[in-house]
Amino acid sequence: MRPSIKEILLMNPDTDTRTVYGWVRTKRDSKNVCFFELSDGSCLKNLQVIVDKEKYNPDDILAKLTTGAGVEVDGLLVESPGANQSVELQASEIRILGEAPAESYPLQKKRHSFEFLRDIAHLRPRTNALGAVTRVRSTASFAVHRFFQDRGFYYIHTPIISASDCEGAGEMFQVTTMDLNNIPKTGGSVDYTHDFFGKSAALTVSGQLEAEIYALSHSNVYTFGPTFRAENSNTARHLAEFWMIEPEMAFCSLDGNMDTAEDFIKYVIGYILEHCAEDMELFNKFIEKGIVDSLASVVNSEFHRVTYTDAMKELEKNKAKFEFEPSWGVDLQSEHEKYLTEQVFKGPVIVTDYPKDIKAFYMKMNDDGKTVRAMDVLVPRLGEIIGGSQREDSLEKLTARINDMGLEEKDYWWYLDLRRYGSVPHSGFGLGFERLIQYMTGMQNIRDVIPFPRTVHNAEF
Ligand code: 4AD
Ligand code: MG
């Protein structure tokens, strides 16, 4: 394979003419020389190309070297006198592969707002910031697999179309082949026996229930896939389609679960700091000042751990500060999460043992009968990035819980079977991948850390 610009920038000057490919980022022209910068997306840095107009001066081609144009350049890699790079390309011939007329190309040199770029999601990966996000996201995906594979976890492909609502929150997108203008009904309600699957089906909100099946055969497993939630929340941290990583571990209690979550987050951050240093420097300078040092200190310190009840006491002491009044039994609002992580603990914190009424049916009940073995990992700037728990492993208690919550026992027959046959303590969690990318890059809006964000009224690209 031909070397990328990232590789070329690390090479020594050579004596043979080579051909380089990329898109023009900027151009400076003077009487005798023309400089332009080429990018091929392989790294943040561009390759500088110099055209000595006394030796080579095709006016028509130089005029077409506008920002965004795709080109092929023959030239010699020479030592660069400039301070920014050690090598540059002395062009001997340039071929324009695809023009990008300056009058109409939307990405000109100046910095564009992220809002503006969202409307041109087909061009925004060509910008420095979105280009860096793209590389960090890819590298982080690899780190996720690496973390679990190195520790003997098996990667399970859980289904995207599912008939069970894992979180019981009713925020599912239905999947149907029925004609919406002519829906078959019996006795006033939809008759799903005529639908593709013969029953109501939806896009998954979580692969957890299916991951539990495999944890109870392979001990340590994980999923990493797209997840869908029809939440009508227009915030900077919610998507209708996001990627979630969900490990599930047999013979594991809530403490083991917290340890894995903490090690996992630190590992991915450490991996990015090491392997994406150049891109991280961009975020450090332009997006979130000081983020590199602050992430490095996260890797080197322990996460705080606090029960929901104690966290609530801390919040109640400062009631006046909040729009939503904190009180035992209500869910933590994002202002509460922010306060805990930024003011009280000044770093990531794991909150455990939430009231049962604000958590899903599958969490293990504590002896107090009021709280469950839940854990949420909260981080500064964002709030919750992980939600997890030890799972209820008693058939009796789980059945009671399903009934209490008004769910249908028959919909969960196979999930209950796991408690009937060889049930063992097990735990797991879900990490929102986009929230982790936001945390690591400092990008404020979740729509800017996924290539094609799906949100309310938005699925153009
Ligand atoms: O807390 P949640 O809902 O937990 C679960 O789905 C469990 N089944 C996970 C498990 O135990 N296996 O979601 C987990 C994480 C959240 O902490 C958040 O980071 C992310 O998924 N998340 C979202 N990210 C972007 N947009 C949304 N609408 C999200 N909803 C949840
Ligand atoms: Mg949650």
Nearest to 99, CA basis, from 65, 123, 76, 135: 65
pLDDT at 109: 65
28 domain-assigned: yes
pLDDT at 95: 97
Q: Whose CA is nearest to atom 17 of ligand 1?
A: 386
CATH number of the domain encompassing residue 9: 2.40.50.140
Provide the residue range defining the domain that includes 430: 124-169+205-448
* Same domain? 403 vs 265: yes
460 domain-assigned: no
Residues contacting 217, CB < 8 A, separation 6+? none
Considering every ligand atom shown, identify the ligand nearest to the alpha carbon of residue 431 and give its number: 1
Counting atoms of ligand 1 from 1, which one is nearest the CA of 430? 9
* Same domain? 136 vs 257: yes
Counting every residue written for the chain, the total comes to: 461
pLDDT at 193: 93
429 domain-assigned: yes
Residue 198 CA to ligand 2 centre (angstroms):
31
Residue 167 CA to ligand 1 centre (angstroms):
9
Answer whether 163's CB lies under 8 Å from 200's CB: yes
Answer whether 169's CB lies under 8 Å from 205's CB: yes
Residue 376 CA to ligand 2 centre (angstroms):
7
* Same domain? 92 vs 133: no
Q: Which of 242, 427, 431, 454 to mutate to test the pocket of ligand 1 (most atoms within 8 A of CB)?
A: 242
CA dihedral 78, 81, 85, 90 (to 10 degrees): -30
Answer whether 75's CB lies under 8 Å from 56's CB: no
Considering every ligand atom shown, identify the ligand nearest to the alpha carbon of residue 167 and give its number: 1
Rounded CA Rg of the chain: 27
Q: Whose CA is nearest to atom 7 of ligand 1?
A: 430
pLDDT at 59: 87
* Same domain? 85 vs 151: no
CA separation for the pair 189, 392 (Å, rounded): 33
Counting atoms of ligand 1 from 1, which one is nearest the CA of 446? 25
Residue 445 CA to ligand 1 centre (angstroms):
17
Considering every ligand atom shown, identify the ligand nearest to the alpha carbon of residue 208 and give its number: 1
Write the single-letter amino acid at 206: S
**CB count in 10 Å sphere of residue 113:** 7
Instruction: Return the SS3 of 411.
Output: helix
Residue 311 tokens, joined: 């966290």
161 domain-assigned: yes
**CB count in 10 Å sphere of residue 331:** 14
Where would I find the H helices in 122-228?
128-150, 208-218
458 domain-assigned: no
CA dihedral 7, 10, 16, 22 (to 10 degrees): 40
CA separation for the pair 134, 60 (Å, rounded): 34
pLDDT at 385: 98
* Same domain? 312 vs 434: yes
Counting atoms of ligand 1 from 1, which one is nearest the CA of 388? 11
Residue 386 CA to ligand 2 centre (angstroms):
7
Q: Whose CA is nearest to atom 27 of ligand 1?
A: 238
190 domain-assigned: no
Out of 81, 98, 115, pick the residue that ends a domain.
Answer: 98
pLDDT at 251: 98
Number of domains within the chain: 2
Which residues make beta-bridge pairs with 20? 73
Q: Which of 244, 254, 449 to mutate to test the pocket of ligand 1 (most atoms within 8 A of CB)?
A: 244
pLDDT at 434: 98
* Same domain? 366 vs 228: yes
CA separation for the pair 355, 309 (Å, rounded): 9
* Same domain? 427 vs 308: yes
Residue 1 CA to ligand 2 centre (angstroms):
44
CA atoms within 13 A on the CB side of 256: 14
Residue 429 CA to ligand 1 centre (angstroms):
9
* Same domain? 240 vs 353: yes
pLDDT at 225: 98
CA separation for the pair 126, 132 (Å, rounded): 10
* Same domain? 286 vs 383: yes
* Same domain? 87 vs 212: no
CA dihedral 296, 298, 301, 303 (to 10 degrees): -170
Counting atoms of ligand 1 from 1, which one is nearest the CA of 233? 28
Q: Whose CA is nearest to atom 30 of ligand 1?
A: 238
Nearest to 191, CA basis, from 181, 180, 199: 199
The helix or strand, by DSSP H or E, that contains position 352, with its residue range, turns out to be strand 349-352
Answer whether 241's CB lies under 8 Å from 226's CB: yes
CATH number of the domain encompassing residue 425: 3.30.930.10
Residue 61 CA to ligand 2 centre (angstroms):
56
The helix or strand, by DSSP H or E, that contains position 95, with its residue range, turns out to be strand 87-98
* Same domain? 91 vs 130: no
Residues contacting 182, CB < 8 A, separation 6+? none
Ligand 1 shell residues, CB under 6 Å:
166-167, 206, 208, 229, 231, 238-239, 242, 244, 246, 384-389, 428-430, 432, 434-435
Per-residue pLDDT of the chain (461 residues; tens, 9 = 90+): 899 999 999 999 999 999 999 999 999 999 999 999 999 999 999 999 999 999 988 889 999 999 999 999 999 999 998 888 899 999 999 999 999 999 999 998 678 999 999 999 999 999 999 999 999 999 999 999 999 999 999 999 999 999 877 777 778 999 999 999 999 999 989 999 999 999 999 999 999 999 999 999 999 999 999 999 998 888 999 999 999 999 999 999 999 999 999 999 999 999 999 999 999 999 999 999 999 999 999 999 999 999 999 999 999 999 989 999 999 999 999 999 999 999 999 999 999 999 999 999 999 999 999 999 999 999 999 999 999 999 999 999 999 999 999 999 999 999 999 999 999 999 999 999 999 999 999 999 999 999 999 999 988 88
Whether the predicted model's global pTM rises above the 0.95 cut: yes
Considering every ligand atom shown, identify the ligand nearest to the alpha carbon of residue 429 and give its number: 1
pLDDT at 461: 84
* Same domain? 251 vs 308: yes
Counting atoms of ligand 1 from 1, which one is nearest the CA of 205? 6
Considering every ligand atom shown, identify the ligand nearest to the alpha carbon of residue 171 and give its number: 1
369 domain-assigned: yes
139 domain-assigned: yes
